[in-house]
């Protein structure tokens, strides 16, 4: 059972870690830290690991300022913008808490929930999800596409994903398991589900973003969706054998029908239209199949190169500098 102040805590001196990817979040920082500090108040020792994901505004300078004032605020500075998932990985690899909370830096994941998360963790759950009870303040299209995507994804994927956001608490053994997964393309939500362990949920209302802007455009969400599907399902690859079987089956029946008709009725050679339809249809199916193969081969290519998921330019507050 996890308890504050147990032996491991002695070594690292850290019990609870917040891991927060930040990309152009300078406007929110002040409020973010004050609300986190208020929420973390009675919870014992903590660290806030902020990963600066190549921000173009003065996020880094301001983070370092906060780090100077409070060493519990630690800063990982990536060498460029790698994206939210790699930034998360960077934070997870450096944080040292026995419980680790992953959250957005834009206050859409309210820090006030942290005590509840910790409460559940103390009860013995390894993962505590925060499930969005309502997303009334996100656009209709975004809600709809996201709902459809997750429904589709969970049909397809080997491991269903339980919730939508990242906001969650994980125990040290879950974080270690996630860190140990070797793949370079890291769709974190699926990886978190993949490692398993006992989990609990708490519901919350996700507030709208008050300052700054969302970093995701629709094509990025589309790419994210492709990453998610190709990382956890091979159905798109395998289904073409069945489609092929179906098409050749129908073609065979159609051929039998044509032969019979010829024998019974004799006659002319109609069928230009049906020929065109068959050629175009099959051509289309073949191109789609090639495209699907391409998606996977592209990812295999990416994986085989084995490039690091992120590159850390500097780290502040983690003992021996860098
Ligand atoms: N983020 C990041 N790198 C990126 C994009 C986003 O570190 O390339 C961070 C961002 O600063 C925020 C979190 O990921 O803390 C979620 O991003 P955002 O609020 O833009 O996403 P949304 O809430 O709209 O899904
Ligand atoms: Mg947000």
pLDDT of residue 137: 64
pLDDT of residue 134: 66
Phi, psi of 228 (to 5 degrees): -60, -45
**CA-to-CA distance for 36 and 18, rounded, in angstroms?**
9
- What is the three-class DSSP state of 279? helix
Maximum C-alpha span of the chain: 93
pLDDT of residue 136: 60
Q: Whose CA is nearest to atom 18 of ligand 1?
A: 214
Helix 188-195 and helix 218-232, axial crossing angle in degrees, nearest 10: 30
H helices present in the chain, as ranges: 7-12, 29-40, 59-69, 84-94, 114-123, 140-156, 172-180, 188-195, 218-232, 235-265, 272-305
Please give the residue that has the higher pLDDT: either 275 or 101. 101
Q: Using the predicted structure, report yes or no on whether residue 261 has a pLDDT greater than 50.
A: yes
- The DSSP element (H or E) to which 56 belongs, if any, is none
pTM, rounded to two decimals: 0.73
Q: Which two tokens stand for residue 288?
A: 């789609």
pLDDT of residue 51: 95
200 CA distance to ligand 2 centroid (A)? 23
Q: What is the mean pLDDT of residues 287-304?
A: 86
pLDDT of residue 11: 44
pLDDT of residue 221: 80
**CA-to-CA distance for 233 and 44, rounded, in angstroms?**
42
pLDDT (tens digit per residue) in 37-66: 988 887 888 899 999 998 998 999 999 999
Q: Which two tokens stand for residue 265?
A: 């009725």
Q: Using the predicted structure, report yes or no on whether residue 69 has a pLDDT greater than 80.
A: yes
295 CA distance to ligand 2 centroid (A)? 28
Pocket test for ligand 1, best of 104, 146, 163, 221 (most atoms within 8 A of CB): 104
**Ligand 1 atom index nearest CA of 87:** 7
What is the band of 162 on the pLDDT scale with cuts at 50, 70, 90?
Answer: low
pLDDT of residue 3: 42
Q: Using the predicted structure, report yes or no on whether residue 176 has a pLDDT greater than 80.
A: yes
pLDDT of residue 100: 94
165 CA distance to ligand 2 centroid (A)? 10
Q: What is the dihedral of CA 46, 52, 56, 62, to 10 degrees?
A: 30
pLDDT of residue 102: 93
The C-alpha angle 99, 103, 104, rounded to 5 degrees, equals 165
What is the band of 236 on the pLDDT scale with cuts at 50, 70, 90?
Answer: confident
pLDDT of residue 320: 63
Q: What average pLDDT does the structure give for the chain? A: 82
Pocket test for ligand 1, best of 82, 92, 101, 106 (most atoms within 8 A of CB): 106
pLDDT (tens digit per residue) in 185-196: 778 878 888 888
Q: Using the predicted structure, report yes or no on whether residue 94 has a pLDDT greater than 80.
A: yes
CA distances for 67 relative to 73, 90, 244, angstroms:
5, 18, 60
Q: What is the mean pLDDT of residues 7-29?
A: 74
pLDDT of residue 20: 94
* pLDDT-above-90 percentage for the chain: 18
- The DSSP element (H or E) to which 130 belongs, if any, is strand 127-134
Q: What is the mean pLDDT of residues 137-145?
A: 75
């Amino acid at each position: 059972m996890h308890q504050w102040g147990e032996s491991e805590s002695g070594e690292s001196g850290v019990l609870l870690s917040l891991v927060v990817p930040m990309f152009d979040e300078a406007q929110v920082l002040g409020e973010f830290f004050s609300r986190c500090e208020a929420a973390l108040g009675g919870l014992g020792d903590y660290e806030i690991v902020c990963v600066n994901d190549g921000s173009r505004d003065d996020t880094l300078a301001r983070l370092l300022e906060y780090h100077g004032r409070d060493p519990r605020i630690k800063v990982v500075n990536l060498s460029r913008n790698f994206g939210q998932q790699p930034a998360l990985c960077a934070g997870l690899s450096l944080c040292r808490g026995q419980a680790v909370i992953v959250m957005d830096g834009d206050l859409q994941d309210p820090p006030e929930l942290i005590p509840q998360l910790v409460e559940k963790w103390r009860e013995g759950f390894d993962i505590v999800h925060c499930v969005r009870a309502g997303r009334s303040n996100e656009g209709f299209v975004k809600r709809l596409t996201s709902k459809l995507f997750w429904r589709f994804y969970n049909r397809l994927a080997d491991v269903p994903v339980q919730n939508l956001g990242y906001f969650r608490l994980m125990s040290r053994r879950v974080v270690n398991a996630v860190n140990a997964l070797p793949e370079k393309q890291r769709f974190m939500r699926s990886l978190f589900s993949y490692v398993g362990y006992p989990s609990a949920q708490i519901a919350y209302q996700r507030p709208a973003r008050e300052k700054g802007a969302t970093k995701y455009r629709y094509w990025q969400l589309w790419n994210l969706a492709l990453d998610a599907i190709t990382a956890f399902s091979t159905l798109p690859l395998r289904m073409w054998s069945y489609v092929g079987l179906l098409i050749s089956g129908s073609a065979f029946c159609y051929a039998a029908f044509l032969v019979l008709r010829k024998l019974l009725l004799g006659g002319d050679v109609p069928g230009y239209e049906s020929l065109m339809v068959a050629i175009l249809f099959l051509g289309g199916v073949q191109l789609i199949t090639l495209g699907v193969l391409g998606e996977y081969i592209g990812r295999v290519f990416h994986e085989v190169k084995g490039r690091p998921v992120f590159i850390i330019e500097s780290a502040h507050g983690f003992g021996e500098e860098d």
